[in-house]
């Protein structure tokens, strides 16, 4: 079974468009790992407190919340390949320019750079997800999304993992510069990726941005079961982006352990995501999407409860692996949304729910940053478990054709 699955995943890369998109993605995530660590260091140094990191996160996430509808309309109206190229190239050039200014003693503002990165990273997902739909066969979507998710996880691990060594040997500026170059290289692979853009009809062109966005809201509302899929995806996205940030205060305040234990939890979590992205599509093939996603969300809620009540180091490590494994459900939710959403609406619909998840993510980021010392971090893990449980209940209580 494992050998057959490996063969099926390898076959995806015979599609050169998919191969270039995947290669572009892993290079960009390596760069993003380097940039994330280095800019966080800069932000912390700017304020000499964790408040700097909070402001950095605000600058990165706020654009997707404020301008999500605009980014989605752009992804549906204009050439998505061009949008990917622009997203990666502008981020890379902006980072390299910032570094050159710093090296020339023309000091720039790290938060302005973060805002630029936030704007152009927000263009990426509403364009990338519909592109996958057009270059991969419908029955291959779960495996394609899971494979790209695995590569993203590997890229993030590599980027964050080598950032410390690069900062030590090269300094933070040159580490940041390498991250910028990787974004530019990622953009190059988007350039050579084959993709046929479908031009809009005259009727579509006549619509204003606001009209196009309102049209997408009506589409989701009128399409039976589609809201359920995107709501589940939104909950999983919030969990995916917030669970890792709770780990630092949990290790310090609850377990009273060292940075070595933190690194071990991070490694176990990433391993869980990686293995989950491999096996969850197999499970989906066997018992179908609805049962798979419900099972993964329910098991994840149990894992989060184990962390919340603190059953000991070994149990917590096992729970974090399970949580990582179950978060691979995000790739399945994406595939289900792609399958049941008209390609002409995918950018707008995706950006809308990205904005919703961005609100939840940003609230928790700021809450942990400014109130982290005064709250019990275990309560937040109970909250995360509740989010997973609500997602589970939504899936099992809405038995429609799209989640079956």
Question: pLDDT digits over 141-193, tens only?
Answer: 888 988 998 888 788 878 876 887 888 888 889 999 999 999 999 999 999 99
Q: What is the mean pLDDT of residues 46-72?
A: 78
Closest CA to 84 of 157, 156, 159, 192: 192
Q: Is residue 370 part of a domain?
A: yes
Q: Is residue 53 part of a domain?
A: yes
Position 266 scores a pLDDT of: 81
Q: Is residue 59 part of a domain?
A: yes
Q: Is residue 269 part of a domain?
A: yes
- Cβ proximity of 60 and 196 under 8 Å: no
- Cβ proximity of 402 and 229 under 8 Å: yes
| Helix H or strand E encompassing 295 | helix 259-309
Rounded to whole angstroms, the Cα distance separating 175 from 180 reads 9
- Cβ proximity of 149 and 331 under 8 Å: yes
CA distances from 157 to 56, 128, 146, 162 (A): 21, 21, 16, 8
Percent of the chain with pLDDT over 90: 41
* 263 vs 347, higher pLDDT: 347
Predicted confidence (pLDDT) at residue 381 exceeds the cutoff of 90: yes
Residues 6+ apart with CB under 8 A from 163: 33, 34, 37, 38, 175
Burial of 252 (0-12, 13-18, 19+ CB in 10 A): middle
Predicted confidence (pLDDT) at residue 248 exceeds the cutoff of 80: no
Closest CA to 236 of 325, 167, 163: 325
The conformational region for residue 198 under phi > 0 = left, psi -120 to 50 = alpha, else beta, is beta
Q: Which domain holds residue 103?
A: 2-399
Closest CA to 118 of 162, 63, 41: 63
* 259 vs 394, higher pLDDT: 394
Place of tokens 């059953």: 311
For the domain that residue 391 is a member of, what is the CATH number?
A: 1.20.1250.20
Burial of 371 (0-12, 13-18, 19+ CB in 10 A): exposed
Predicted confidence (pLDDT) at residue 294 exceeds the cutoff of 90: yes
Q: What is the mean pLDDT of residues 124-131?
A: 89
Domain count, the chain: 1
Position 401 scores a pLDDT of: 47
Predicted confidence (pLDDT) at residue 31 exceeds the cutoff of 90: yes
DSSP-assigned letters across all residues of 373-400: TTS-HHHHHHHHHHHHHHHHHHHHH---
Closest CA to 110 of 60, 161, 50: 60
For 65, what's the count of Cα atoms within 13 Å in the CB-facing half-sphere? 15
Predicted confidence (pLDDT) at residue 14 exceeds the cutoff of 90: yes
**Poorest-pLDDT segment among 57-66, 198-207, 221-230, 374-383:** 198-207
Q: What is the mean pLDDT of residues 324-336?
A: 90
Position 139 scores a pLDDT of: 87
Q: What is the mean pLDDT of residues 94-108?
A: 91
The conformational region for residue 342 under phi > 0 = left, psi -120 to 50 = alpha, else beta, is beta
**Poorest-pLDDT segment among 58-72, 111-125, 191-205:** 191-205
Q: What is the mean pLDDT of residues 243-264?
A: 82
- Cβ proximity of 278 and 5 under 8 Å: yes
Predicted confidence (pLDDT) at residue 287 exceeds the cutoff of 80: yes
Predicted confidence (pLDDT) at residue 64 exceeds the cutoff of 90: no
**pLDDT by residue (tens digit) across 78-87?**
899 999 999 9
Closest CA to 214 of 78, 353, 349: 349
Position 245 scores a pLDDT of: 75
Q: Is residue 37 part of a domain?
A: yes
Q: Is residue 404 part of a domain?
A: no
At 21, the pLDDT band (50, 70, 90 cuts) reads: very high
| Helix H or strand E encompassing 317 | helix 313-326
Q: What is the mean pLDDT of residues 46-58?
A: 72
Closest CA to 269 of 318, 329, 334: 318
Phi, psi (degrees; rounded to nearest 5) at 105: 65, 25
The conformational region for residue 225 under phi > 0 = left, psi -120 to 50 = alpha, else beta, is left
Read off the DSSP letter of residue 251. Answer: I
Position 205 scores a pLDDT of: 53
Rounded to whole angstroms, the Cα distance separating 158 from 324 reads 17
**pLDDT by residue (tens digit) across 188-220?**
999 999 888 776 554 455 567 788 888 889 999
Q: What is the mean pLDDT of residues 271-296?
A: 91
At 400, the pLDDT band (50, 70, 90 cuts) reads: low
Place of tokens 């964050």: 160
Position 243 scores a pLDDT of: 87
Share the mean pLDDT of the chain. 87
Position 202 scores a pLDDT of: 47
DSSP-assigned letters across all residues of 183-215: HHHHHHHHHHS-----PPPHHHHHS-HHHHHHH
């Amino acid at each position: 079974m494992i050998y057959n699955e490996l063969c099926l995943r390898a076959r995806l890369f015979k599609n050169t468009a998919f191969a270039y998109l995947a290669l572009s993605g892993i290079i960009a995530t390596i760069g993003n790992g380097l940039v994330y660590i280095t800019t966080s260091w800069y932000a912390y140094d700017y304020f000499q407190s964790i408040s700097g990191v909070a402001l950095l996160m605000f600058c990165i996430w706020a654009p997707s919340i404020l301008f999500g509808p605009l980014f989605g309309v752009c992804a549906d109206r204009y050439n998505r390949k061009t949008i990917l190229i622009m997203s990666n190239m502008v981020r890379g050039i902006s980072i390299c320019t910032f570094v050159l200014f710093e090296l020339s003693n023309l000091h720039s503002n790290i938060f302005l750079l973060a805002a630029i990165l936030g704007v152009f990273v927000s263009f990426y997902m509403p364009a990338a997800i519909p592109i996958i739909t057009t270059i991969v066969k419908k029955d291959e979507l779960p495996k394609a999304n899971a494979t790209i998710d695995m590569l993203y996880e590997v890229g993030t691990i590599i980027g964050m993992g080598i950032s410390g060594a690069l900062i030590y040997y090269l300094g933070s500026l040159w580490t940041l510069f390498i991250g910028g170059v990787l974004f530019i290289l990622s953009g190059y692979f988007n350039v050579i990726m084959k993709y046929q853009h479908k031009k809009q009809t005259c009727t579509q062109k006549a619509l204003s941005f606001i009209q196009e966005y309102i049209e997408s809201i009506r589409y989701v509302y009128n399409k039976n079961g589609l809201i359920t899929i995107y709501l589940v995806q939104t909950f999983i996205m919030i969990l995916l982006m917030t669970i890792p940030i709770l780990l630092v205060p949990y290790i310090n305040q609850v377990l009273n352990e060292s940075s070595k234990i933190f690194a071990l939890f991070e490694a176990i979590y990433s391993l869980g995501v990686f293995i989950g992205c491999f096996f969850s599509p197999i499970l989906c093939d066997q018992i179908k999407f609805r049962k798979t996603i419900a099972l993964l969300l329910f098991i994840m809620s149990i894992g989060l409860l184990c962390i919340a009540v603190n059953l000991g180091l070994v149990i917590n490590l096992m729970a974090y692996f399970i949580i990582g494994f179950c978060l691979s459900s995000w790739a399945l939710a994406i595939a289900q949304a792609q399958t049941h959403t008209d390609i002409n609406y995918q950018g707008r619909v995706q950006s809308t729910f990205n904005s919703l998840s961005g609100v939840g993510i940003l609230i928790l980021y700021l809450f942990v940053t400014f109130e982290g010392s005064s709250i019990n971090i275990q309560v937040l893990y109970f909250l995360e478990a509740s989010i997973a449980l609500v997602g589970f209940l939504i899936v099992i209580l809405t038995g429609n054709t799209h989640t079956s």
